[in-house]
Amino acid sequence: MNDLLEEENDFGFARVYTVELKYRQQPKLDLQVIYANMERYTGQTEQPEKQEEQAAGLAVWEAYETAKEQMLHFFHLNYKVQYSDGEIPAQTSLMNTSNRPASDYETAIQQCWHWEEAAQTISECKYSLRLVDMMASGLEPKSRLQLFTGVLRAVLEAAPCDAIYFRESDKLVEPTAYLAAIEEGSILYGAMNIRFYNVEGTGSGRKEGLMDSVGLAALGIPDVQCHYYDLDPNEVAEHIANIGYYLFNKGDIIDDGETVGFTEDMRWRCEHQYSLAAPRRIVLDLDLGEPYYAGKQGHNQAEE
C-alpha cells in the first residue's frame, strides 16, 4: 500500500476519481431514470442476486443510512479489472456529501476562463452529490474515463445540477456545456483543465507566462507544460490541448528529446519533468526554442 501511495503522490495518479455535482435546490433522484440511462451508457442493469446469470451488464446496490443519506453503488460488469487472483468489475458510487463553501473552489474559479458565471453559481449552491469510481484504476485511461463519463452523463440527465467540479483537474464546468461537449466527442472537456499563470519577478523584463494542463496525470498520462516568453496565451492553450488529446488517445509515447509540431516551422522539444505549478505530477515540458522558451531542459528532472 505504501508503494501505491508513493506512486500516486509522485506521478499525480488518482486511485479514486472524484466529481462533485453542485445544486441550488436539493436534488431528487429518479432511480428508474438513472438506471435506464446507465443501461444506455455503460451496460444492461442486473440486480446483484442475478449477477451470476449474465457475465456482462450492471449490478446496482442501494444503501440508506437515513432517509436523506442515500448511496447508489454500481458494479460495471462490462468493465473488468484484472488482478493476480482474478477479475473484479470496476465500480462507481453516487452519494450525498456535505456542501462545501465557494472558498474551497478558489483555485478552480481563478482558472475558469471558459465559464464567467462559475463563482456566482457556486456561491448559490447549497447541496452536493459526490460521484467516485473504485476498483477502476487498473483500467486503461481511455476505458476508465469512458466509463466514468457514461455514469456521470446518466446521473446528469436524470438529476440535472447547476455546476460540476472535477477534483482531479480542479475544474468547474457548466453542466449543459459539459453534456454538449461530450456529445461532440470532447471527452476531456471536464477531465483536462488548461491553466494560465503570469510569471513575475524573474527580472527578464519580458512578458513571461506558464501554461499547463492538469487532470491527465490522474489518469496515468503525463500532463503538458509550457513556460514561455512573448507568445499569445490562446495559441499556446490550443497547442497544449491538442497535445493533451494526442497523449490521451495514443498514450505516453513521446520520448525525451523528440519534437512535436503542427506546422513545418513549429518543432517543440519534449522532456518529462515534474510540474512547475502544483499539484506535483509528471508533465511533458515543451521547449519552444529561442527566443520563446523560458524554462530549462537537457536532463530528465523527473528522475532526480
**Whether residues 135 and 282 fall in one domain:** no
* C-alpha to C-alpha distance for 48 and 75, rounded to whole angstroms: 9
Sorted by sequence, the CB contacts under 8 Å of residue 149 that are 6+ apart come out as: 41, 182, 187
**Whether residues 179 and 53 fall in one domain:** yes
Domain-located, residue 3? no
**Whether residues 30 and 86 fall in one domain:** yes
**Whether residues 157 and 32 fall in one domain:** yes
Angle, CA of 97, 98 and 101, to the nearest 5°: 130
**What would the DSSP string read from start to end of 103-140?**
GGGHHHHHT-TT-TTHHHHHHH--EEEEEEEES-TTS-
**Whether residues 26 and 172 fall in one domain:** yes
**Whether residues 179 and 199 fall in one domain:** no
Ramachandran quadrant class, 135 (left: phi over 0; alpha: psi -120 to 50; beta: rest): left
* pLDDT of the residue at 55: 43
Of 183, 211, 239, the position where a domain reaches its end is 183
Peptide bond connecting 279 to the previous residue in cis, omega within 30 degrees of 0? yes
Q: Which three cell numbers stand for residue 20?
A: 462533485
pLDDT by residue for the chain (304 residues), tens only, comes to: 344 445 556 688 999 999 999 999 999 988 889 988 988 999 865 544 444 444 446 777 776 555 456 789 999 988 999 888 888 899 999 999 999 999 999 999 999 999 999 999 999 999 999 999 999 999 999 999 999 999 999 999 999 999 999 999 999 999 999 999 999 999 999 999 999 998 876 666 788 899 999 999 999 999 999 999 988 999 999 999 999 999 999 999 999 999 987 676 778 899 999 999 999 999 999 998 888 888 788 755 544 4
Q: Which domain holds residue 221?
A: 193-303
Grid cell 477502476 — which residue? Answer: 136
Half-sphere exposure of 162 (CA within 13 A, CB side): 18
List strand residue ranges (DSSP E) for 159-294, in order: 163-166, 171-173, 193-198, 208-214, 223-229, 259-263, 266-274, 282-287
* pLDDT of the residue at 299: 52
Domain-located, residue 288? yes
**Whether residues 26 and 152 fall in one domain:** yes
Of 183, 207, 223, the position where a domain reaches its end is 183
- Cβ-contact 147, 158 below 8 angstroms: no
Q: Which three cell numbers stand for residue 127?
A: 447541496
- Cβ-contact 169, 190 below 8 angstroms: yes
DSSP 215: S
- Cβ-contact 101, 140 below 8 angstroms: no
Domain-located, residue 153? yes
**Whether residues 152 and 255 fall in one domain:** no
Question: Could you count the other beta carbons within 10 Å of the beta carbon of residue 69?
Answer: 11
Specify the pairing of strand 266-274 against strand 18-23. Answer: unpaired
**Whether residues 137 and 205 fall in one domain:** no
CATH code of residue 159: 3.30.1400
- Cβ-contact 76, 38 below 8 angstroms: no
CA distances to 41, 225, 284, 291 from 228, rounded to whole Å, are 41, 10, 14, 9
**Whether residues 104 and 217 fall in one domain:** no
* C-alpha to C-alpha distance for 143 and 206, rounded to whole angstroms: 43
Please give the tally of structural domains in the chain.
2
Of 183, 210, 245, the position where a domain reaches its end is 183
* pLDDT of the residue at 230: 85
**Whether residues 238 and 291 fall in one domain:** yes
* pLDDT of the residue at 201: 63
Domain-located, residue 6? no
**Whether residues 237 and 118 fall in one domain:** no
Print burial letters for 140-177: b (CB count within 10 Å at least 16), e (below 16).
Answer: ebeebbbbbbbbbbbbbbbbebbbbbbbbbbbbbbbee
